[in-house]
Amino acid sequence: MRDRLGGTDAIAACKGAIVQATEYLHQQFREGAPVESLIRQRAAFVDALLGQLWEQNIGADSEHCLVAVGGYGRGELHPCSDIDILLLLDENAGDAEAKLEGFLTLLWDIGLDIGHSVRTVAQCIENAAGDITILTNLMEARVIRGPQRLMEEVQQGTSTEKMWPSPAFFRAKVEEQRNRHTKFADTEYNLEPNVKSSPGGLRDMQIIGWIAERHFGVESLDRLTAAEFLEPVEAQILRDGRDFMWRVRYALHMITGREEDRLLFDHQRELAQMWGFEDGEKLAVEQFMQVYYRWAQALGMLNEVLIQNFDQDILTAEGDHNILELNGRFQMRNGYIEARNDNVFSIDPSAILEVFLLSARNDAINGIAAPTIRQLRRSLDLIDDSFRASEINQKMFMDLLRSPYKLTRQLKRMVRYGVMGRYIPEFGQIIGQMQHDLFHTYTVDAHTLEVIENMRRFQIPEFAERFPVTSRVTARLPKIELLYLAGLFHDIGKGRGGDHSELGAVDAQAFCELHKLSKRDTNLVVWLVENHLTMSAVSQRRDISDPDVIQQFARHVGDQHRLDYLFALTVADINGTNPTLWNAWRGSLLRQLYTETKRALRRGLENPIDKQVWVDETRDAAIDTLEYRGFTIEEIEDVWKERGEDYFLREKAEDIAWHTEAIAGHHDKSKPLVLARSSLDSNVANTTQIFIHARSSAALFSRICAQLEQLDLSIHDARIYNANDGMTLDTFFVLGSDGQAIAEDQARINDIREALSHALSQDASAQVVNRRTPRAKKSFSIPTETSMSVDEVKNYSVLEIATPDRPGLLARIGKIFVDFDIDLQAAKIQTLGERVEDVFFITDADQQPITDPERCEALQRAIREELNETA
Class at the top of the CATH hierarchy for domain 424-603: mainly alpha
> H-helix or E-strand containing 828?
strand 822-828
Question: With 70 as the cut, is the pLDDT of residue 789 above it?
Answer: yes
Distance of CA 335 to the CA centre of its chain: 32
Nearest to 801 by CA among 839, 774, 771: 839
| Cα distance between residue 113 and residue 97, in whole Å | 21
**Which residues pair with residue 120 across a beta bridge?**
89
Q: DSSP of 475-501, one letter per residue?
A: HT-S-HHHHHHHHHHTTTTTTSSS-HH
Question: With 50 as the cut, is the pLDDT of residue 175 above it?
Answer: yes
| Cα distance between residue 592 and residue 458, in whole Å | 19
108 burial via Cβ count (<10 Å: 0-12, 13-18, 19+):
exposed
Class at the top of the CATH hierarchy for domain 2-164: alpha beta
Q: Which of 176-180, 313-317, 479-483, 487-491 has the lowest mean pLDDT?
A: 313-317
> H-helix or E-strand containing 823?
strand 822-828
Amino acid at 217: G
| Cα distance between residue 17 and residue 10, in whole Å | 11
Distance of CA 237 to the CA centre of its chain: 27
Greatest extent of the chain over all pairs of C-alpha atoms, in Å: 107
Give the C-alpha distances (Å, rounded to integers) separating 695 from 702, 761, 816.
Answer: 14, 10, 20
| Cα distance between residue 398 and residue 413, in whole Å | 17
Instruction: Answer yes or no: are the C-beta atoms of 816 and 866 closer than 8 Å.
Output: yes
pLDDT for the residue numbered 1: 34
Helices (H), 62-165: 70-73, 97-109, 121-130, 132-139, 148-157
**Across the chain, how many H-helices and E-strands are there?**
39, 17
pLDDT for the residue numbered 498: 87
23 burial via Cβ count (<10 Å: 0-12, 13-18, 19+):
exposed
- Fill in the DSSP letter of residue 462: G
Domain 321-415 adopts which CATH fold? Hydrophobic Seed Protein (1.10.110)
Q: What is the pTM of this model?
A: 0.86
| Cα distance between residue 657 and residue 629, in whole Å | 10
Instruction: Answer yes or no: are the C-beta atoms of 109 and 6 closer than 8 Å.
Output: yes
Instruction: Answer yes or no: are the C-beta atoms of 865 and 823 closer than 8 Å.
Output: no
Question: With 70 as the cut, is the pLDDT of residue 833 above it?
Answer: no
Tell me what percent of the residues of the chain surpass a pLDDT of 90.
60
Per the document, the length of the chain is: 871
Q: Region 556-566: what's the mean pLDDT? A: 97
Q: Which of 151-155, 335-339, 831-835 has the lowest mean pLDDT?
A: 831-835
Give the C-alpha distances (Å, rounded to integers) separating 297 from 198, 423, 660.
Answer: 11, 18, 60
pLDDT tens for residues 217-239? 777 666 665 556 778 888 899 99
**Which residues pair with residue 85 across a beta bridge?**
68, 116
Tell me what percent of the residues of the chain surpass a pLDDT of 70.
92
pLDDT for the residue numbered 610: 81
Question: With 70 as the cut, is the pLDDT of residue 5 above it?
Answer: no
CA angle 286, 290, 294 (to 5 degrees): 170
Give the C-alpha distances (Å, rounded to integers) separating 625 from 46, 333, 619, 631, 660.
Answer: 83, 69, 10, 9, 11
pLDDT tens for residues 723-780? 777 788 888 888 887 777 776 778 888 889 998 988 888 765 545 555 555 555 555 5
Q: What are phi and psi of 731, to 5 degrees?
A: -125, 135
pLDDT tens for residues 393-429? 999 999 999 998 889 999 999 999 999 999 999 999 9
> H-helix or E-strand containing 246?
helix 232-256
| Residue 55, SS3 per DSSP | helix
Nearest to 309 by CA among 434, 212, 438: 212
Q: Which residues contact 628 (CB under 8 A, 6 or more apart)?
A: none
Q: Where are the domains of the chain?
A: 2-164, 167-317, 321-415, 424-603, 653-870
Question: With 60 as the cut, is the pLDDT of residue 240 above it?
Answer: yes
Nearest to 577 by CA among 698, 491, 466, 699: 491
Q: What are phi and psi of 715, to 5 degrees?
A: -85, 135
| Residue 119, SS3 per DSSP | strand
CATH number of 167-317: 1.20.120.330
Dihedral sign, Cα of residue 184, residue 186, residue 190, residue 193: positive
How many other CB atoms sit within 10 Å of the CB of residue 770? 10
| Cα distance between residue 817 and residue 808, in whole Å | 15
pLDDT tens for residues 33-89? 999 999 999 999 999 999 999 999 998 888 999 999 999 999 999 999 999 999 999
> H-helix or E-strand containing 318?
none
| Cα distance between residue 538 and residue 190, in whole Å | 30
pLDDT for the residue numbered 587: 85
Question: With 50 as the cut, is the pLDDT of residue 146 above it?
Answer: yes
Q: Which of 554-563, 581-590, 854-863 has the lowest mean pLDDT?
A: 581-590
Instruction: Answer yes or no: are the C-beta atoms of 728 and 722 closer than 8 Å.
Output: yes
Dihedral sign, Cα of residue 49, residue 54, residue 56, residue 59: negative
Instruction: Answer yes or no: are the C-beta atoms of 364 and 335 closer than 8 Å.
Output: yes
Tell me the HSE value of 546 on the side-chain side, using a 13 A CA sphere. Answer: 15
| Cα distance between residue 657 and residue 203, in whole Å | 63
pLDDT tens for residues 462-505? 888 889 999 999 999 999 999 999 999 999 999 888 899 999 99
Question: With 60 as the cut, is the pLDDT of residue 315 above it?
Answer: yes
Nearest to 545 by CA among 449, 684, 422: 684
| Cα distance between residue 110 and residue 19, in whole Å | 11
Contacts 24+ apart (CB under 8 A), 461-470: 467/571, 469/567, 469/591, 469/594, 470/567, 470/568, 470/571, 470/572
pLDDT for the residue numbered 696: 83
pLDDT tens for residues 113-130? 999 999 999 999 999 999
| Residue 185, SS3 per DSSP | coil
pLDDT for the residue numbered 871: 58
Written in H, E and C, the secondary structure of 608-656 is CCCHHHHHHHHHHHHHHHHHHCCCCHHHHHHHHCCCCHHHHHHCCHHHH
